[in-house]
């Protein structure tokens, strides 16, 4: 009797494991797995939504089906998609959410909140701003015969630039965290369609859910360093001394650059003061100069480049204060450390007047054979 009971229990457990999740089976050729969604304003100032999904069963291989609809509501657009698609659409695998600059400037939380409340929508989709039309971008990328399928191409493009600190890693859940956290603003990748491909321009800066500014890829790397999210990358600099002879090569290049950040906030004369310390390390891989083996020359190069980094970072900080965007989360630190001060001020206004002190140190670990 005991053996029969054990066999019964084992059989039941195996059945639960083998058959769990099998209640919602769908033939893959009848399902449209949406991988990308684009949002922009139509000429009639309605929402223009575009989706792409693999065209399984199409006459040609590696094609995506692209559908665009105009609507006043995101949910209504979802129903409109059903009237033009022969597939049962599923939004659980969306990789990218593309927003036009014009729409991002007006605010995107009213769209994002629909995705936030949808349990089927993945929280790992990249949030990306497009300089131009997401619809045009998705349609044009589909015609690039030398590129992979659009969803793979754009995903690889974003990940490569994120891994080299030329674009921020901003997924849906990251955007919501930064949007809802007082004193912390989102920052997303900024891309643009060009004749032969898609280019990562840098980053779009937000104040709340509205895009208020943009920076290029090198500035993005410096901003990520101040945010504590810097990744191994290459940096390029202006010449530190006048060139003795004319040359096509001007400036310096550092490779395998890494950064450690320390940040703290204090109060001075009733106002917050942020103190940021950055320590960079890297390899000098391209530079036209003699006597690189001399310690005095090496020290001069490190000081000059550290000065260029500091100047660039200070310009970025001034710009973020001017446009009212706080991607570093200085306000979040002030709120945690000085809650009484936080309660009595409007941080958007106070942030513009906050003093930020910055120190930068650079250690070049290796001077290769450079000519």
Q: What is the mean pLDDT of residues 164-183?
A: 94
Tracing tokens 């754009």 back to the chain, one arrives at: 154
Assigned token pair, 97: 């959410």
Domain ranges of the chain: 25-216, 232-371
- Chain-centroid distance, C-alpha 183: 19
Q: What is the CATH number of domain 232-371?
A: 3.30.300.210
User: Could you report the per-residue pLDDT of 291-308, keeping only the tens digit for each?
Assistant: 677 788 888 889 999 999
User: Could you report the per-residue pLDDT of 59-113, keeping only the tens digit for each?
Assistant: 566 677 888 999 888 888 777 777 776 666 677 788 999 999 999 999 999 888 8
Structure confidence at residue 113 (pLDDT): 85
CA–CA dist 123, 180 (Å, integer): 15
Tracing tokens 């001075």 back to the chain, one arrives at: 268
Three-state DSSP class for residue 106? helix
Structure confidence at residue 19 (pLDDT): 56
Phi and psi, residue 240, nearest 5°: -90, -15
User: Could you report the per-residue pLDDT of 306-339, keeping only the tens digit for each?
Assistant: 999 999 999 999 999 999 999 999 999 999 999 9
Structure confidence at residue 108 (pLDDT): 95
Q: How confident is the model at residue 132 (pLDDT cuts 50, 70, 90)?
A: very high
Res. 371: pLDDT tops 70: no
Report the percentage of the chain scoring pLDDT > 90.
Answer: 58
Structure confidence at residue 73 (pLDDT): 84
Radius of gyration for the alpha carbons in the chain, expressed in angstroms and rounded: 26
In this prediction the pTM is: 0.87
CA–CA dist 43, 110 (Å, integer): 20
Res. 267: pLDDT tops 60: yes
Could you say which DSSP state residue 56 is in? T
- Chain-centroid distance, C-alpha 278: 21
CA–CA dist 328, 264 (Å, integer): 11
Sheet strands side by side (includes 355-367):
233-237, 252-268, 271-286, 355-367
* Backbone torsion region of residue 191, taken as left when φ is above 0, otherwise alpha when ψ lies between -120 and 50, otherwise beta: beta
């Amino acid at each position: 009797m005991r053996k029969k009971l054990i066999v019964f229990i084992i059989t039941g457990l195996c059945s639960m494991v083998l058959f769990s999740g099998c209640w919602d089976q769908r033939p893959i050729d009848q399902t449209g797995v949406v991988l990308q969604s684009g949002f922009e304003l139509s000429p009639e100032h309605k929402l223009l939504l575009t989706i792409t999904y693999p065209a399984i069963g199409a006459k040609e291989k590696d094609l995506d089906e692209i559908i665009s609809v105009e609507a006043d509501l995101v949910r209504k657009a979802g129903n409109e998609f059903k009237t033009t698609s022969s597939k049962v659409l599923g939004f659980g695998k969306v990789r990218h959410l593309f927003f036009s600059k014009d729409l991002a400037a007006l605010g995107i939380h009213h769209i994002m909140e629909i995705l936030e409340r949808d349990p089927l929508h993945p929280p790992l989709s990249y949030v990306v701003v497009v300089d131009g039309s997401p619809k045009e971008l998705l349609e044009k990328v589909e015609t690039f015969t030398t590129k992979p399928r659009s969803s793979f191409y754009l995903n690889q493009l974003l990940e490569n630039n994120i891994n080299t600190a030329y674009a921020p890693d901003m997924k849906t859940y990251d955007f919501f965290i930064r949007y809802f956290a007082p004193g912390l603003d989102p920052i997303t990748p900024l891309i643009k369609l060009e004749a032969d491909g898609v280019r990562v321009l840098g980053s779009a800066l937000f104040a709340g859910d509205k895009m208020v500014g943009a920076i290029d890829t090198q500035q993005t790397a410096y901003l990520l360093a101040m945010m504590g999210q810097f990744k191994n990358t290459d940096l390029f600099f202006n010449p530190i001394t006048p060139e003795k002879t004319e040359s096509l090569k001007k400036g310096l290049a550092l490779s395998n650059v890494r950064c450690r950040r320390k940040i703290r906030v204090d109060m001075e004369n009733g106002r917050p003061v942020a103190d940021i310390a950055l320590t960079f390390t890297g390899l000098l891989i391209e530079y036209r100069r003699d006597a690189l083996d001399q310690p005095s020359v090496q020290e001069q190069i490190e000081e000059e480049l550290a000065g260029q980094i500091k100047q660039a970072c200070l310009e970025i900080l001034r710009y973020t204060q001017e446009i009212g965007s706080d991607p570093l989360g200085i306000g979040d630190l002030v709120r945690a450390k000085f809650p009484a001060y936080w309660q009595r001020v409007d941080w958007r206004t106070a942030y513009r007047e906050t003093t930020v002190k910055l120190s930068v140190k650079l250690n070049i670990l290796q001077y290769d054979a450079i000519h």
